[in-house]
């Protein structure tokens, strides 16, 4: 003889199913006892004798006002840095960025391995330092240039950086990052050419 | 609502008025929500559209049931009030994830159960004393009957608080919020069969906890 299942007993106890539909109950004392226990427990916890204490009538308005205030605070801080950071750090964004950064790193490493021991940034500085003397000479005739040189004469490198006049760190890398593949190849060729020339002239 | 009127008065025919009036009405972009009969989807859309008062309406409609749910878990007014506020704040944060596949009530219950279960697992609930229950309506009862009923209610709530978390959640939702097994299954993320089994075992455990005399 198989007893009633849990679901069947619960349906009977909750009244979702009439006892007449479970003839097994008539012949099984165990299931009858189980059902009686369930019904007794249900009666004990029934809402009739177990109401929640009703808060003061003023509570509900006060509660709504508290939620409203919390929502206002939430709304004010919603477009904050945390959300931005969460979006930025999500894999959808970070994965491609990481991949591109890795490719850039590999590209730069390969280039440095084949190039003489001078970085592109240093090469650019060398190129600027070696600007033709006639350019400097001709600019001295310009009164506005003279004013700039007068003003900048007392500035050391740290002051220049602090004033934001120097190229920010990584700007060369970012510029390279924005180049197309063809442009990068062309840049690589020009740099090699320039470095080879500098090397042959003894710099 | 704002409106503007443009008049065009040509001077070609002074005897016969030949002018036109154009009235351009501009509908307000974000009307305040005042209609309490809006459906769940409309209310959520209004909230997401930034319409003032839309979330207030959601709070107003569901605050009592959420408070009662929280009270069943923590057993005192202060914690129930704090938890209820937390439920609505979490709901506000997650409004854009509400897909309308269930009702707002079911969705709020789901948040409420999660908040309450997290809370009760971190902190043993402080059940209120009988004295705190004195404002329950007890008209028609003698003083002794009222005290006995209050004592019994406190014992029942203490026994419910002893139940395992999931059993407690499904019992509260079933008995005190009168939700269907299907709704409870959606709220706690399980099957109808599992809900019935949890209710069954909860009732069995309650019988043991309360003892014969209380039943």
- Lowest model confidence (mean pLDDT) among A47-51, B41-45, B50-54, B64-68: A47-51
Query: What pLDDT band is residue A184 in, cutting at 50, 70 and 90?
Result: confident
Report the distance separating Cα A124 and Cα A24, nearest Å.
95
- The token pair at B137 is 């309506």
Chain B residue whose CA is closest to A40: B215
Instruction: Give the helix/strand (H/E) hosting B73.
Output: helix B54-74
| Model confidence pTM above 0.90 | no
Q: What is the pLDDT of residues B113-140, one digit of tens each?
A: 999 998 876 665 565 655 554 455 555 6
Query: Chain A window 21-80: which residues touch B at a Cβ cutoff of 8 Å?
Result: 37-38, 40-47, 49-55, 59-60, 63-64, 66-68, 70-71, 74
Residue B151, chain A, CB below 8 Å: the answer is no
Query: How many other β-carbons are positioned within 10 Å of the β-carbon of residue A190?
Result: 11
- CA B160, CA A156: separation in Å to the nearest integer? 76
Q: E strand or H helix at B91, and its extent? A: helix B77-93
For chain B, what are the domain ranges?
Answer: 38-127, 153-215
Mean pLDDT for the stretch of residues A6-19: 93
Out of A51, A64, A74, closest to residue B136 by CB: A51
Query: Is residue B203 less than 8 Å (CB to CB) from chain A?
Result: yes
- The end-to-end CA distance of chain A, in Å, is 102
Per-residue pLDDT for A20 more than 80? yes
Would you say residue B146 has pLDDT above 50? yes
Cα of A93 to nearest chain B Cα, Å? 20
Task: Compute the average pLDDT of residues A139-158.
Answer: 68
Is residue B206 within 8 Å of residue B161, measured between CB atoms?
no
B98 — contact with chain A (CB < 8 Å)?
A: no
User: According to CATH, what is the number of the domain B153-215?
Assistant: 1.10.10.10
CATH 1.10.1740.10 fits B38-127, yes or no: yes
Q: Which of B59, B90, B91, B212 to mutate to test the interface with A (most CBs of A within 10 A)?
A: B59
Contact in structure between B163 and B205 (CB atoms under 8 Å):
yes
Flag whether pLDDT at B152 surpasses 50. yes
- As a dihedral over the C-alpha atoms of residue B87, residue B89, residue B94, residue B100, rounded to 10 degrees, the angle is 60
Q: What is the ipTM of this complex?
A: 0.72
Average pLDDT over every residue of B35-61: 84
CA B109 to chain centre: 6
CB pairs under 8 A between A and B: 105
């Amino acid at each position: 003889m198989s007893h009633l299942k849990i679901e069947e007993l619960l349906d009977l106890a909750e009244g979702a199913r009439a006892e007449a539909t479970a003839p097994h109950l008539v012949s099984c004392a165990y299931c009858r006892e189980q059902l009686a226990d369930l019904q007794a427990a249900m009666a004990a916890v029934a809402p009739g004798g177990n109401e929640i204490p009703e808060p003061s009538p003023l509570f509900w308005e006060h509660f709504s006002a508290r939620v409203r205030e919390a929502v206002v605070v939430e709304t004010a801080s919603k477009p904050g840095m945390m959300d931005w950071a969460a979006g930025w750090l999500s894999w959808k964004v970070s994965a491609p960025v990481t991949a591109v950064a890795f490719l850039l790193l590999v590209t730069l490493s390969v280039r440095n391995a084949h190039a003489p021991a001078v970085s592109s940034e240093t090469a650019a500085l060398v190129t600027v330092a070696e600007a033709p003397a006639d350019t400097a000479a001709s600019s001295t005739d310009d009164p506005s240039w003279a004013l700039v040189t007068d003003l900048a004469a007392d500035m050391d490198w740290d002051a220049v950086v602090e004033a934001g006049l120097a190229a920010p760190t990584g700007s060369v890398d970012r510029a390279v990052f924005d180049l197309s593949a063809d442009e990068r190849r062309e840049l690589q060729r020009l740099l090699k050419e320039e470095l080879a020339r500098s090397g042959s002239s003894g710099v | 609502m704002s409106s503007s009127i443009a008049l065009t008065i040509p001077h070609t025919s002074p005897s016969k008025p030949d002018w036109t009036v154009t009235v351009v009405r501009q509908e307000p972009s974000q009307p305040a929500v005042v209609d309490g009969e809006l459906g769940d989807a409309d209310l959520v859309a209004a909230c997401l559209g930034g319409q003032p008062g839309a979330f207030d309406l959601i709070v107003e409609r569901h605050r009592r049931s959420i408070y009662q749910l929280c009270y069943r878990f923590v057993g005192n007014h202060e914690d129930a009030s704090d938890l209820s506020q937390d439920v609505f704040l979490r709901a506000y944060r997650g409004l854009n994830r509400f897909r309308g596949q269930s009702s707002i009530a079911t969705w709020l219950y789901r948040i409420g159960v999660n908040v309450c279960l997290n809370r009760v697992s971190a902190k043993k609930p402080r059940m209120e004393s009988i004295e705190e229950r004195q404002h329950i309506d007890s008209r028609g009862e003698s003083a002794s009957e009222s005290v006995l009923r209050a004592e019994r209610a406190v014992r029942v709530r203490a026994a419910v608080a002893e139940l395992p978390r999931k059993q407690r959640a499904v019992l509260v939702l079933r008995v005190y919020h009168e939700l269907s097994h299907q709704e409870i299954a959606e709220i706690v993320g399980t099957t109808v069969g599992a809900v019935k089994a949890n209710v069954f075992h909860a009732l069995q455990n309650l019988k043991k906890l309360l003892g014969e005399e209380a039943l």
